[in-house]
Amino acid sequence: MPKTKSKENPTDELLRDLMIIQLGLAGLTQHQIREIVGVDIHRVNRIVKHFKKTNQK
């Protein structure tokens, strides 16, 4: 299991990731998600980039 850079509980990290996923599915932008969750934009991008774009034509 990879070590986390912070001294946070792994449960807290998992909950933040789940919140990023839910906010991404709700249609918020990556910048909005970063402001709400309070994490680095790279972390948000790493998770949200896997979502399928639903409104592309």
What pLDDT digit, counting tens, does each position of 18-53 carry?
A: 999 999 999 999 999 999 999 999 999 999 988 766
Q: Which residues of 9-45 are buried (b: 16+ CB within 10 A; e: fewer)?
A: eeeeeeebbeebeebbeeebebeebbeebebeeebbe
Residues spanned by the domain of 23? 10-48
Residue 10 amino acid letter: P
d(CA 52, CA 25): 9
pLDDT, residue 37, reads 96
* Three-state SS sequence of 34-48: HHHHCCCHHHHHHHH
- Within a domain: residue 31? yes
Tell me, yes or no, whether 56 lies in a domain: no
Would you say residue 28 lies in a domain?
Answer: yes
pLDDT attached to residue 5: 60
**3 domain residue, yes or no:** no
Query: How many domains does the chain divide into?
Result: 1
